[in-house]
Structure 1
Amino acid sequence: MADATLQSLLSTKAALDLGLISQADFDAVKNAFLRAQQIKAALDVGLIKPEDYEETKREFLGALAGGVAVSSVGGSNGSAPAAAAKPPQPPPKPVSWSIPPPAPPREQLQQQAAAAGAPAAAPQQQAAPAPPAAAAAPPTAAAATAAMVAPAAAPARPPVHRVPSNPDVPTNIPKMGGIKQLSQGTSMSGIAVTEDAVNLFYLMRLKATYKWAMWQVDDSGQSVVIAAVGDKQSSWADFLAALPDADCRYGVFDFDFTTPDGQKLHKMIFLNWAPDSARVKAKMMYASTKDFFKSHLDGLSLEFQASDLDEISEQEVGDAVRALKRG
């Protein structure tokens, strides 16, 4: 779908340059192209199923066919058709996805069950015992809820202590590396990367000033900026503790390890963090900007994508890094 829409965009731009269509017509096709990229990005990060993607693609292409079409730019003799005089069609409506809200914590269910069952406890104590042959009364909704939460849960992993993003992030970092010019380039979502965000990576890689760093899309949704840094003594556990519960992040960790023959090496590990509880819009922004951001960072050895801390334990990451060395 992206290739077909890109061809429509390029053809429509040529028609705009020749004066055959208006700027509004071109903007409609351009918006359709960006929407097509976002639909594909949603499939890549697992926000929609392949079968839902195919259905969305058919609906989207049908909506796009009702807008500005490349074949309507002009006839075989190059003259503009009468349809050009019509007002420009509005761009296709955005396609939205939603995810179900997370289930309430077990403690909340227990409190609700206790609160709902407390008033009914007193009458049961005063009521006369039922005859032996009488059928038992059906359980109430409160009792059913209590029965669901009553069994003891399996021992859970100790909670990870969350820490807020470090407010003392460095600024005005001198340029130390990178061959790609930032200029005015943006990702397919229109998000740019600040110079400090790129320069911090090379400060880590060349000077080992920090053990790890994290980046985020700023509140305006326009730029990738520095979110947090970890000093030289920081550990992998400190790195994981800085990840937010309900928002996305990019992260780089300088992973040290010793080979069987005694060599001490380090690898720059990239993490794309997208927890299940993050907003769908945030997941799409980070997914569509990740490759653009990484294109400014030379020297990354390995990439991990995770939505849960269990997927990126220090043991699993270390095994992957050592396997990379053996390869």
Structure 2
Amino acid sequence: MNKAGIKIENVHLSFGDTEVLKGVNLDIKPGEFFAFLGPSGSGKSTLLRAIAGFGPTPSGRILIGDRDVVGLDPWKRNVGMVFQSYALWPHLSVRNNVGFGLKERKLPAGQIKTKVDAALELVGLAHLADRMPNQLSGGQQQRIALARTIVVEPEVLLLDEPLSNLDASLRVQMRRELLRLQRQLGLTTIFVTHDQEEANTTCDRMAVLDGGVIQQIGSPQQLYDRPENLFVAKFLGTANILEGAVETDGAAKRFRTKTGDVLSLPDGSAAEGSNIVLRPQNISMSHSQSRDSLAGQVRHSEFLGSQVRYLVTAGGAEIVVDQSHSAGQTIFETGSDVHLLANTNSAVVL
């Protein structure tokens, strides 16, 4: 199957007087599984549709391979798109839904049958070829929509929140299926979602968008461990943010919170910054005071089975602390005085 990289250069797009995409630049490698991640209204679906050719024509360049597709009709771009609603023809059988695009291309009937059979086999639904869409489950409909898209052998596969209509357990199953298909086909794929878990578990890299601007690009682990701004830090998982300032004493650096608490910083930390970001799992809690610990009080706790999540007031903020749980382990009572010790090797100063 053909595959191509995508290069987006200085793309702007507006709906009337509202600018939705603001100078987007992006380079997606051939065969990469890439995600656009962001809250509602961030511009992620608009950017996907601009690649597909739906909606207003943007300024800038969108290259699929070495071809600039801005201004081209969608059917001339050789991209396949799976919509949130699946958009299956209700009056056509599964076989005819999958073969629709091939029929429109006027391929011989025998070739259409061969390709449709192969696509249905790929998604594991060859035995349902003669059913109608209303006889399928949500997960089966999604796989038929995928088969209909990949059967025409696009260079790029675009997925616009394709799992959002499925229940939680089926979403987990289907995202694994999506990843299996993508790896098997080696097809350049862009997955739009607002669900960070979906992006983390499927994509090679992601772009986090907010307000029509790409905030950061990288692997899920890079963005989680080393966010470049507070928006990314807050959007990707739970982030504790303490306000203050970096202080330097010779070679040593420390972060002093606005309440006067001090946290030692490792070598190589940012020389300046007014916020320190601490993830809940990188904070330990005890009744004993130690160097660089923050005095606090437990306000709330949630038993989650494998861990206990605490809400603690300390350092002038409400801090979330995740402690792993095992049988017989003590749970800190609400209202108890505690001391928090942060692993500042995992902290980010912004």
Of Structure 1 and Structure 2, the greater strand share is in 2
TM-score range for the pair, normalised by the shorter chain length: under 0.3
Which structure has the larger Rg over C-alpha atoms?
1
Instruction: Using structure 2 for the length normalisation, give the TM-score.
Output: 0.19
The answer to which structure has the higher helix fraction is: 1
